[in-house]
């Protein structure tokens, strides 16, 4: 993978702009469908916990129209051997950890028509990030004022970092930590 960081060789979906859309009730349904599809595919190899947790899982929250899911795995060794072979047949693309730069997870992107449709974050069982992600989701679900504040931040960040997904994500970190701490 000598071209791992050479953006000229990246697929179109890897560099698409950050675009926030108005809330869409269909995201909740799509998240449940994606979750069930993944459970059906991955349960035979022991992956039995999957959650729809990103902004699309929070009613009335503007978001990138990408379903964020996370699943618990016993080991990252199974990712390369089993998960990749299963998901690659269903429009999921593996993002190498060196490129993802998040060693605590393994990351897949589901693509349709050269656009991101869903993300799957695989976390090791026992990783406290799992509980923190769910805590953030659930707090925003139960507090519309927090959700509205987050929506403003997301819109402002998307405008400022339209062409830099990493900076867009980082710009929300302080707010997220303030909610989960």
Tell me the pLDDT tens digit for each residue of 9-65: 666 666 677 899 999 999 999 999 999 999 999 999 999 999 999 999 999 999 999
Per-residue confidence at 99, pLDDT binned at 50, 70, 90? confident
Q: What pLDDT does 81 receive?
A: 77
Sign for the CA dihedral angle at 105, 76, 4, 120 comes to negative
CA nearest to 72, candidates 143, 133, 155, 146:
133
Q: State the Cα–Cα distance between residues 33 and 85, nearest whole angstrom.
A: 21
Q: What pLDDT does 1 receive?
A: 37
Q: What pLDDT does 10 receive?
A: 64
Mind listing the pLDDT tens digit for each residue in 134-147?
999 999 999 999 99
Q: What pLDDT does 150 receive?
A: 97
Q: What pLDDT does 106 receive?
A: 95
Q: State the Cα–Cα distance between residues 35 and 71, nearest whole angstrom.
A: 9
Q: What pLDDT does 17 receive?
A: 78
pTM of the model: 0.89
DSSP 8-state code for residue 76: T
Q: What pLDDT does 101 receive?
A: 87
Per-residue confidence at 66, pLDDT binned at 50, 70, 90? very high
């Amino acid at each position: 993978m000598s071209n791992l960081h050479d953006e000229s060789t990246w697929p179109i979906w890897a560099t698409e702009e950050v675009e926030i859309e108005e809330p869409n009730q269909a995201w909740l349904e799509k998240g449940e469908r994606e979750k069930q599809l993944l459970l059906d595919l991955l349960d035979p190899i022991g992956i039995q916990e999957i959650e729809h947790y990103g902004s699309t899982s929070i009613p009335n929250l503007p978001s990138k129209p990408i379903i964020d899911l996370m699943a618990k795995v016993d080991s990252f060794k199974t990712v390369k051997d089993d998960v990749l072979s299963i998901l690659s047949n269903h429009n999921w693309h593996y993002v190498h950890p060196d490129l993802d730069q998040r060693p605590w997870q393994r990351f897949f992107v589901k693509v349709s028509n050269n656009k991101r449709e869903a993300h799957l974050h695989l976390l090791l069982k026992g990783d406290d990030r799992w509980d923190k992600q769910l805590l953030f989701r659930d707090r925003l679900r139960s507090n519309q004022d927090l959700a509205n504040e987050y929506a403003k931040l997301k819109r402002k960040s998307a405008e400022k970092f339209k062409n830099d997904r990493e900076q867009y994500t980082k710009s929300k970190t302080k707010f997220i930590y303030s909610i989960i701490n």
